[in-house]
Structure 1
Amino acid sequence: MSPDDTTVVSVLEVGGTHVTAASVDIETRSLRFGRSFREVVDGDGSAEEILSALVRCAAHLSTRTGRWAVALPGPFDYERGIGRYEGVGKFDALRGFDLRAALTPSLPGATTVSFWNDADAFVLGEWWAGAARGHRCVAGITLGTGVGSCFLRDGRILRQGPGVPPEGRVHTLRYADKPLEETVSRRALRRAYARATGASPPDVREIARRARQGDRAAAGVFAETFSALGSVLGPLLAAFEPTVLVVGGGIAGAWDLVAEPLRAGLTEADPARNGPIDITSAHQPAQAPLLGAAYLATACGEPLDRTAQL
């Protein structure tokens, strides 16, 4: 290990369809050499297939550091490194699987491997080196297969307190007497478009393309979905009082279709909002989870209490 490698953390960011690897330089708050590497992951695959994809991706990194951080979605036992997935549409094969024990021997130079929630890592990354930099009180959400969330004050992840949902997880909330993700998620958007058109639904990217081309059903689905999200978030943000809400995840790539109804829903839910809030898409949508996981894995991330309170 070269002397400068002591400031580098190797990171894997795992999603339902991909895994990304990068070496993060803590001192510069950036990816080393400005590069990351990506491999396909089959979220419906076996534990061995998922593990193999992670190992292949990790092998791309030339920097051999002892510290590795892995950001991935829940439900997951992040302390023990064991999957708790059940009925979430991905990674069922990792239920009860000791990913730390299986993965660590195959990570180049690994001496410690920490696991972190991907939404927490994303919001920390945007706070540390992105859209929320300089803000003391931050709320962040990710839009994809579900709704991820994180609430920060002075760099601390909050799990409870005024405006913070149970465990800091917006997906635990309900809308129209149903779990929020039955309205706001990739599958919900596709299902809503199918109901509106009577046709087999394309993926969200195609629905967004059609909305931009004047498809009223597609535009209506985005408007209704993210107005609903705003109405759920409004009371939380009124109580939490962040100065910025950062939105990331794959669906945030359609920010031109998300932003206006989200703002409208927030305003309708809290027309007398106290003080301004900056509602913005991520500045580093691809890099933020990598940066945040590295931040969490090092002393730069102090305090690292996973259950911090107000």
Structure 2
Amino acid sequence: MRPGDGTVVAVMEVGGTHVTAARVDIADRSLQLGPAHRESLDGGGSADDILAALVRCARRVPVPGGSRWAVALPGPFDYARGIGRYAGVGKFDALYGVDLRAALTASLPGAAGITFCNDADAFALGEWWAGAARGHRCAVALTLGTGVGSCFLRDGRIVRQGPGVPPEGRVHTVRYADEPLEETVSRRAIRRSYARSTGEVAPDVREIARRARQGDRAAAGVFADTFRALGRALGPLLAAFEPTVLVVGGAIAGAWDLVAEPLRAGLTETAPARTADIVVTPARCPEEAALLGAAYLATTPAATAPGEPRGRTRAP
């Protein structure tokens, strides 16, 4: 079915510390029956523990028999087959080789079918369909947290290759200062930079952000350097891909007051003429975007394009 036909889809978003479940009304482009349900999750736990958390959360969503489920979760994952490919990535390693589709189908009463998608792709499509990128024909979305998630979109289709698009559309594959980008831009990289600057055991990113707002020069400097570097790395890509909007979400985007200015400055340093007009904005529905995008992907055929036409275009 296509969006707008009144379809309701049950959805889950799986992260390293929590799982969220809800129902999405496709016609209204919104969550149905109030806010989403959330359950704590230990991404380093056993397969049984992870599955139990998913099922507990899913069962809190009232769905009729024969309902479809759409699940957004990070890779590496075989999304077509529903099988985990995690190995040495620091979370969900216990799901390596686990047929998550079969396990969930057996545990969710009345589940008629389960589709899986990448969480960064779902976030991007949710923001394009119902959030900050709505109305833009060409968009890039980032999620900033334990790493850098990304998705490149044109006309509502995920673009995996072409001018300005890194391998598979994944910005984390980009190198910066002769290292993988996530050695500069990630939760661990920010904490490491702060520890080096102060000689302290680094607190979490939220505390570093709080200190930056209170005048801690080291903390402010870490945010400035980190996100200027991200802008520098992105600049040539966006200049070639030619989006009209860059949407930023994820836990670290909660410190948008510390992220926005250096990110924009880095973009204009590397490609000033071709990035100056790009709208750089935080997500409009950061808690819901991946849920909305997962439902959109589950109901929209051919959401992935093999290539893309050129042109800085914006939908009316």
- Name the TM-score, length of structure 1 as normaliser: 0.95
| Contact 1:156/1:308 (<8 A) preserved | no
Whole-Å separation in 2 of the counterparts to 1:275 and 1:173: 22
Whole-Å separation in 1 of the counterparts to 2:130 and 2:228: 29
Whole-Å separation in 1 of the counterparts to 2:57 and 2:177: 41
Residue 309 (structure 1) aligns with: 307
| Contact 2:185/2:227 (<8 A) preserved | yes
Q: 3-state DSSP class of the match of 1:35?
A: strand
Whole-Å separation in 2 of the counterparts to 1:154 and 1:121: 15
> 1:98-247 to 2 correspondence within 5 Å?
98-247=99-248
Residue 67 (structure 2) aligns with: 66
Whole-Å separation in 2 of the counterparts to 1:257 and 1:152: 26
Residue 92 (structure 2) aligns with: 91
> 1:47-66 to 2 correspondence within 5 Å?
47-64=47-64, 66=67
| Contact 2:120/2:142 (<8 A) preserved | yes
Whole-Å separation in 2 of the counterparts to 1:42 and 1:274: 39
Post-superposition offset of 1:33: 1.9
Post-superposition offset of 1:229: 0.5
| Contact 2:238/2:275 (<8 A) preserved | no
One-letter amino acid matched to 1:90: K
- Name the TM-score, length of structure 2 as normaliser: 0.93
4+ aligned runs moved over 3 Å, structure 1: none
Give unmatched runs, 5+ long, in structure 2.
Answer: 309-316
Residue 20 (structure 1) aligns with: 20
Q: 3-state DSSP class of the match of 1:34?
A: strand
Whole-Å separation in 2 of the counterparts to 1:46 and 1:283: 34
| Number of equivalent positions | 303
Structure 1 residues 79-117: Cα deviation after superposition (integer angstroms, max 9, x where no partner): 111111122211111111111111111123211100000
RMSD of the alignment, in Å? 1.3
Residue 270 (structure 1) aligns with: 271
| Contact 1:141/1:248 (<8 A) preserved | yes
Give unmatched runs, 5+ long, in structure 1.
Answer: none
Q: 3-state DSSP class of the match of 2:89?
A: coil
Whole-Å separation in 2 of the counterparts to 1:308 and 1:103: 31
Structure 1 residues 13-36: Cα deviation after superposition (integer angstroms, max 9, x where no partner): 000000000000001000002320
Whole-Å separation in 1 of the counterparts to 2:275 and 2:39: 45
Q: 3-state DSSP class of the match of 1:111?
A: strand
Identical columns (%)? 75
One-letter amino acid matched to 2:25: D
Whole-Å separation in 2 of the counterparts to 1:142 and 1:210: 23
